[in-house]
Chain A
């Protein structure tokens, strides 16, 4: 049903730590790699070696320069994929029911067999998380690696989204954000995880952790020279350090 489930049993999603994301695109490419042969396969590339290549990606990295009061500008790398919103507008606008939110875990998916490719859902998503595959004529999107996270054919510790397991800095976490006792919920509350575009009322499940801007862990701003004399001679310096280290 394109109607959103009243409540989902789980709220599976990602938590992305902007404090440690170095913008390396690993998550984006690994996502593409898993998914091009996965649930939504293939993620076509058009004119891959041509003069204006383009293709289907579920996860992308943007970079901003943010002026802050504390320390001048800050470069912020900002990865973004589907946020698996609780009030997903992409789902409710879909005329065919191809776009749906799973009741069991809240994952938002597109049924490629019924999607008519009207693109309306991509207009409705404020985050740009929907990817129209021109070649296939259907809408695609981040599946939260639904064919990986439960996959019985993979060892247990590999059953995490591709973008999460590949991220070299560990900026991405995955889990059930409805489970109050989970580590991921703790992480979110500890770091005051937030929603993107809250005013769009999509209630995204994915959370972001802000870059830490100020870190004052030091007592002093300056070293005290052993001598007050600005023009202390080298010999005096030797004498004083020798005295001090006795």
Chain B
């Protein structure tokens, strides 16, 4: 599939924004921290901006962004519509949460729980939008949605972690939480990578309906490109994709694990450490962008069968 920049950016950044709430919720529930107002304002602002930029950038790839509001109407059937709707609904508890939390009104925990739930639902819808597409066998996989959610939580939590680190908040359980999430994410990812190697039951034989064990593509409808070939048929060389997969694992999984585990042994200026921890978040974010890029570029739409693509 064509790796559209705006879609990649949108899904990763809004996912991160939503993930922040999960991370925060964990902290609020299980860590004893007294949050400063700066912390609250900064976290609120960043998560808000992430989600909003994400949503806005998602309209960038639309042919008619000015009509985007129409996308809410088909929530009964369309995951994209549901995503849009939940994204909007999330804003309600989210904004309330910001407000309650910042001026410290009771009940913000409840609102945070609600925000987190809707955040997960929103990412879930995003994931489902891809996972429900039978046409792209590597997306039509039970692990796609969990991975979307795990990715959001991973980077979101890393953000919260780096922020906590910056504010010198003491963390105990949260580090464990991040370990678990990252390991879970990694394991899921590996299982996913293995599982998508399975051959799809849609083949050139079913595509044209003729039985034969040797069907080759002779000529296409155009000697040049067309919408389908540019949108659905993209390839990346095996070496490159392996390299990118490894890079992704290093950036999004290994670096944070290493840093969280090792920072206390590192001899460095505390400020530099803080900045490094923010860099860790940024690197993992970049790793996620790479992962999302691979998610598109490596997946093959069955329409490729009509264009001589081999699966």
A touches B (Cβ under 8 A): yes
Which residues on A are within 8 Å of B, measured CB to CB?
Answer: 1-3, 18, 25, 28, 52-57, 60-68, 75-76, 78, 80, 89, 92-98, 114-120, 122-128, 131-134, 136-139, 194-201, 208, 210-211
B233 to chain A, nearest CB (A): 10
* 29 residue pairs A–B, Cβ–Cβ below 8 Å: A2-B76, A54-B225, A54-B227, A62-B306, A63-B218, A64-B215, A65-B217, A66-B215, A75-B218, A93-B79, A95-B70, A95-B78, A95-B84, A96-B70, A96-B74, A96-B81, A114-B70, A116-B71, A119-B231, A120-B78, A120-B80, A126-B135, A127-B306, A128-B228, A128-B232, A132-B227, A133-B63, A197-B202, A201-B134
A66 touches B210 (CB 8 A): yes
Residues of B within 8 A of A122 (CB): 227-228, 231-232
Q: B77 contacts which of A61, A92, A197 (Cβ < 8 Å)?
A: A92
B67 touches A116 (CB 8 A): yes
A60-B222, A64-B218, A95-B78 are known; give 10 further A-B pairs, CB within 8 A.
Answer: A62-B221, A75-B218, A95-B73, A97-B73, A116-B68, A116-B70, A123-B1, A123-B136, A126-B135, A198-B206
A2 touches B216 (CB 8 A): no
B219 touches A63 (CB 8 A): yes
A64 touches B216 (CB 8 A): yes
B134 touches A126 (CB 8 A): yes
B228 touches A78 (CB 8 A): no
A65 touches B218 (CB 8 A): yes
A114 to chain B, nearest CB (A): 5
A64 touches B303 (CB 8 A): no
Query: Given A95-B71, A97-B73, A116-B62 in contact, is the A131-B135 Cβ separation under 8 Å?
Result: no
Query: Given A52-B224, A61-B221, A95-B71 in contact, is the A117-B64 Cβ separation under 8 Å?
Result: yes
Q: How far is the CA of A198 from the CA of B135 in the complex (A)?
A: 12
Residues of A within 8 A of B76 (CB): 2-3
Q: B209 contacts which of A63, A131, A194 (Cβ < 8 Å)?
A: A194
Which of A67, A95, A127, A211 counts the most B-chain CB atoms under 10 A from its CB?
Answer: A95
B70 to chain A, nearest CB (A): 4
B297 to chain A, nearest CB (A): 14
Interface residues of B in 51-97 (CB under 8 A from A): 61-65, 67-68, 70-74, 76-81, 84
B202 touches A57 (CB 8 A): no
Q: How far is the CA of A125 from the CA of B207 in the complex (A)?
A: 13
Residues of B within 8 A of A52 (CB): 224-225
Residues of A within 8 A of B212 (CB): 66-68
Q: B224 contacts which of A54, A93, A116, A118 (Cβ < 8 Å)?
A: A54
Residues of B within 8 A of A134 (CB): 63, 227
A128 touches B306 (CB 8 A): yes
Query: Given A52-B225, A132-B231 in contact, is the A195-B209 Cβ separation under 8 Å?
Result: yes
B226 within 8 A of A: yes
B262 within 8 A of A: no
Q: How many residues of B contact A (CB 8 A)?
A: 58
Question: Considering only CB atoms, which chain B residue lies closest to A122 in the complex?
Answer: B231
Residues of A within 8 A of B220 (CB): 60, 62-63
B214 within 8 A of A: yes
Question: Considering only CB atoms, which chain A residue lies closest to B307 in the complex?
Answer: A62
B240 within 8 A of A: no
Q: How far is the CA of A117 from the CA of B228 in the complex (A)?
A: 15
Which of B79, B217, B226 counts the most A-chain CB atoms under 10 A from its CB?
Answer: B226
Question: Considering only CB atoms, which chain B residue lies closest to A213 in the complex?
Answer: B210
Q: How far is the CA of A61 from the CA of B223 in the complex (A)?
A: 12
Query: Given A2-B78, A118-B71, A201-B134 in contact, is the A136-B208 Cβ separation under 8 Å?
Result: no
Q: How far is the CA of A45 from the CA of B206 in the complex (A)?
A: 31
Which of B133, B209, B217 counts the most A-chain CB atoms under 10 A from its CB?
Answer: B209
A80 touches B135 (CB 8 A): no
Residues of B within 8 A of A93 (CB): 77-80, 129, 132-133
Q: How far is the CA of A126 from the CA of B224 in the complex (A)?
A: 21
B73 touches A56 (CB 8 A): no
Q: B206 contacts which of A63, A118, A119, A199 (Cβ < 8 Å)?
A: A199
Q: How far is the CA of A97 from the CA of B63 in the complex (A)?
A: 15
A77 to chain B, nearest CB (A): 9
Q: How far is the CA of A123 from the CA of B133 in the complex (A)?
A: 7
B213 within 8 A of A: yes
Q: How far is the CA of A80 from the CA of B206 in the complex (A)?
A: 14
A53 touches B224 (CB 8 A): yes
B84 touches A200 (CB 8 A): no
Interface residues of B in 172-214 (CB under 8 A from A): 201-202, 204, 206-210, 212-214
- Which 10 pairs of residues, A with B, have the shortest CB-CB distance? A117-B63, A137-B63, A60-B221, A67-B214, A128-B303, A95-B81, A95-B71, A95-B80, A96-B70, A2-B74
Residues of B within 8 A of A201 (CB): 134
B305 to chain A, nearest CB (A): 9
B301 touches A123 (CB 8 A): yes
Q: How far is the CA of A3 from the CA of B230 in the complex (A)?
A: 29
Q: How far is the CA of A195 from the CA of B207 in the complex (A)?
A: 9
Q: How far is the CA of A16 from the CA of B22 in the complex (A)?
A: 54
Q: How far is the CA of A125 from the CA of B228 in the complex (A)?
A: 11
A134 to chain B, nearest CB (A): 8
